[in-house]
Amino acid sequence: MKHLESFATRLISFAWAKQRYYRNCKSDESKAPNIVQFQQLMQNGLVQIEGFLTSAEVRAFLQAIPNREQLEAHAKVHPQASLYLVEEAHRLSEHFRSFFENAWIRSFAEAYLGSKAVSFRRTLNLKLDPNRLTSFGFEGFYHMDDWKHRFKAFLYLTDVGPEEAPLIYLKQSHYGWWRLLAEAQLYHRYQATNRGYATNPATAYLGCYFPHEIAELQERYSFQEHACTGPAGTLILFDARGLHRGSELKQNQRIVLVDHWTVPQPRFQAKI
């Protein structure tokens, strides 16, 4: 009985915290730079925009990427997946800074998240060697990033087809009462740095779902799986509360810039 009382208390405390937090997250369609795309994001949790960069602009971005030797010296390297992760990518060049400080993306984020939205993490992600994946870890599971309002902008700098490790998203999984228990777990147990990384390895997989759980959710709620394929220059905007996962690089390379947005809690201080 005490266990049930404790569980109910924790759930109620989260419900109150969520209600207070979301007072600061007021979407405003009238402020969106594109109403149709904004409505797609609201409905599905995801919208894709091809041609956000021209071919010439893509080439300029690619030329600004550090070489392999520099990446291995300065990036976070995950050898099994051949994944290179460069933090603070806006500092690499003016080209990258132009993406992370893009006024159109900022206006979209503020329309979706509210006027208090901040960009809190800016990365360059590179998958360079196909078929190197032996242990996928967190990225391979469908997961929600957080209980707090999250928004991500992915910019493909290479063509991404089914074999080039596209982002996989479950449309319309970014809202609903079914999320409440998982969100409460994240609220009470998940501690993260101001960059969004778990501080305790024991809780790093909170928010993840096993394949059989995903199958049940898809059957119950008719969530549609969507592979985010597109040519270089494609911009993908998605609500990172929705269930999403990475996929394996089977050919070529995949290079993407990722801008992370949220509405901070009062104690959170963005460091960019």
Measured in degrees and rounded to the nearest 5, phi and psi for residue 112 equal: -85, -45
Angle (CA) 206 238 257, round 5°: 95
Measured in degrees and rounded to the nearest 5, phi and psi for residue 73 equal: -85, -30
Other CB atoms closer than 10 Å to residue 83's CB: what's the count? 22
Contact yes or no for 131/171 (Cβ under 8 A):
no
Q: Name residue 265's beta-bridge partners.
A: none
CA-based radius of gyration for the chain: 19
Q: In terms of DSSP bridges, do strands 83-87 and 235-238 run parallel, antiparallel, or are they unpaired? A: unpaired
Give pLDDT, residue 272.
36
Task: Give the whole-angstrom CA distance, residue 182 versus residue 92.
Answer: 37
Task: Give the whole-angstrom CA distance, residue 272 versus residue 259.
Answer: 11
List Cα–Cα distances, 195 to 43, 57, 119, 151, 188, in angstroms: 27, 28, 10, 14, 18
User: Cα torsion for 31, 112, 36, 30, to the nearest 10°?
Assistant: -20
Its pTM stands at 0.90
Ordered structural domains, the chain, with CATH: 28-262 (2.60.120.620)
Angle (CA) 23 187 237, round 5°: 65
Per-residue tens of pLDDT for the chain, all 272 residues: 545 457 688 888 999 999 999 998 999 999 999 999 999 999 999 999 999 999 999 999 999 998 888 887 777 876 555 688 999 999 988 989 999 999 999 999 999 999 999 999 999 999 988 876 544 567 789 999 999 999 999 999 999 999 999 999 999 999 999 999 999 999 988 776 665 565 666 677 889 999 999 999 999 999 999 999 999 999 999 999 999 999 989 999 999 999 999 998 765 444 33
Contact yes or no for 85/76 (Cβ under 8 A):
yes
Angle (CA) 47 103 126, round 5°: 60
Phi-psi region of 191 (alpha: psi -120 to 50; beta: other; left: phi over 0): beta
